[in-house]
Structure 1
């Protein structure tokens, strides 16, 4: 089926997330996790653990479709980059939603959300497609892939960039690989959900592509610019995540309108107080819109889509009212160790003591 890679990209980032099992979903249309690995007692970074396996083994562990598996095995560095993409998208998703009711929760909750058409589902599709492009474009410039190298854009000096320490991120390769890997909706126009998902996937690709920057560096005697080398750089993924989070906040609800003459359906902006399904002149969403079909649940109580917010940490005077859903919060004093009495040791490092500090922790009732 179409867009067969992004059902979700979930992977634990060690040191940020503390869970015994890490799960990744590499198929938009698939329901099975592509990767389930126990981190173990040492909590080693997943990228290191994955790299300890032979590439074919990693590709077999990923529950990929035939074409995807062939692409995974074909080139050196591809399996590792796929894993890096999962870490990138998941960590950014959880960072952007850590102080909200839906906090990019994993496991069965994520699987259930992906079966729906909520705003959260749309965000997952866009952030994960963006993560794929970003990871593969960056892998080219870092020489991790055999099939690509620095950015090959015209009018940029590349032969000299290696010598000066600059190498452009190959956004062209990243987009090409991702589009081939994900495929396209075969039933576009007939399958409303496929069209919706494809739109949000394309949004993730568009955001990365539209925010590539050209960086230049001058070289010459006494700072003169007798030689200038330029290369293209991706926007930091945290900035990509912020743009997509803003799109999420302004997401557009759509409905399906079926043309009775052709039998084809298209998405139009949902109109309140009217039946959008019967509005033949409905306004189509823009390419830059994050779109969804169904209103989201509140995520306040435990349901099939969320573990609820009971016991969740929140920030007083900032997120507690929202996260705790008006139920209030408990306050607990905890003792933590922090660096204190720091001083600079000549010449090159700072020495600090470890002090016990009492802090307030707020958890939702």
Structure 2
């Protein structure tokens, strides 16, 4: 069940809403105030086989059908956890200088609304799952999928595929099956959620590149070994952050030709105009300021900021406090024979800025 979440979101069964992100604090023990570097890994070092694998599937808040898929796919539970780690890390990194910094505080309430931030969470969550699944296939962590061995390139005879490529084709197919997206709902919120999910998947797909290595005498490149490789997930995060910054407010219109309700953007001026672009994030309502504590965030009081770039925005006009902190660093380093570096420890005084409460 999708406890505490809007009915329109439940048929999508998106793990970000109904499964993992809404329960990430329980999985990782996060409070929303930890530095990113202290986020723990996925699972303990135990093999994802047999009873351990089945236990992991049962521990997750999945639908009955999703649990069946999880039990059948050895390695899926670990991949789901990895996708949560990816999405949390990337969300916090991309919003580290924003008023809403992707903190866990109040995320359940935020997911019930149609804000730009909700759109980003949906997109980055589906992107992380798509990315993690493709990587799990190429690394051999899932039994039912292997490398992406279909090059689809011209002059195929000149190419030799010898490295395991990221299997995004299987990932996308399995993701649709796992999320259960069969038909588009007439509900506007459900349409927007489904659209933003697909924006995340498309963002991952846009980062799929062909990587090659040359083989031959004196670098002649007589034979090339090529494989499909996904870009680092941070590249996907940067793209989705741009989509967030340029998100549009959606609304519904009736198609005069079919009589069906469709999702449209403000650029559409008639029932026959162009549809919403498949790459742009969509929101329903304007976001709160996130300046003060609310059910959507903890506010910005006490947040560290940069005096020259972010304090004026983050502190919401309340001003900021300045404090001097002593930090240690290595200095006066010298190379000793052989292959050894000796350094002294120096103290450096730094100014630290934090947003005021009042």
How far apart are 1:359 and its partner, in Å? Answer: 1.2
The corresponding residue for 2:213 is 217
TM-score, normalised by the number of residues in structure 1: 0.83
How far apart are 1:148 and its partner, in Å? Answer: 1.5
CA RMSD of aligned residues (A): 2.8
The corresponding residue for 2:181 is 184
- Give 1:1-80 correspondences, 5 Å limit: 1-8=10-17, 26=19, 33=23, 36-37=26-27, 45-49=40-44, 51=46, 54-80=52-78
How far apart are 1:113 and its partner, in Å? Answer: 0.9
- Match 2:117 to one of 103, 115, 120: 120
Q: Distance in 1 between matches of 2:175 and 2:196?
A: 14
Gaps of at least 5 residues in structure 2 are 1-9, 31-37
- The yes-or-no answer on 1:167 pairing with 2:164 is yes
| Alignment length (residue pairs) | 333
Q: Distance in 2 between matches of 1:347 and 1:74?
A: 55
SS at match of 1:343: strand
The corresponding residue for 1:19 is none
The corresponding residue for 2:33 is none
How far apart are 1:111 and its partner, in Å? Answer: 0.8
The corresponding residue for 2:35 is none
How far apart are 1:348 and its partner, in Å? Answer: 4.7
- Match 2:151 to one of 154, 166, 173: 154
The corresponding residue for 1:16 is none
Gaps of at least 5 residues in structure 1 are 9-24
CA 1:261–1:207: 2 relative to 1, 3 Å: closer
How far apart are 1:95 and its partner, in Å? Answer: 0.2
SS at match of 1:218: strand
Q: Distance in 1 between matches of 2:210 and 2:138?
A: 14
Post-superposition Cα deviations, 1:293-342, rounded to whole Å, max 9, x if no partner, equal 10000001111111110111111101111111111100011112222223
SS at match of 1:222: helix
SS at match of 2:16: coil
SS at match of 1:49: coil
How far apart are 1:200 and its partner, in Å? Answer: 0.5
Post-superposition Cα deviations, 1:85-116, rounded to whole Å, max 9, x if no partner, equal 10001100000000010101114x11111100
- The yes-or-no answer on 1:84 pairing with 2:82 is yes
8 Å contact from structure 1 (residues 3, 182) kept in 2: yes
TM-score, normalised by the number of residues in structure 2: 0.84
- The yes-or-no answer on 1:205 pairing with 2:201 is yes
The corresponding residue for 2:7 is none
Q: Distance in 1 between matches of 2:11 and 2:339?
A: 55
How far apart are 1:141 and its partner, in Å? Answer: 1.4
- The yes-or-no answer on 1:131 pairing with 2:128 is yes
CA 1:224–1:49: 2 relative to 1, 3 Å: same
Q: Distance in 2 between matches of 1:119 and 1:38?
A: 25
CA 1:94–1:345: 2 relative to 1, 3 Å: farther
Q: Distance in 2 between matches of 1:44 and 1:250?
A: 29
SS at match of 2:333: strand
Post-superposition Cα deviations, 1:4-45, rounded to whole Å, max 9, x if no partner, equal 03334xxxxxxxxxxxxxxxx6269xxx627724659xx783
CA 1:332–1:64: 2 relative to 1, 3 Å: same
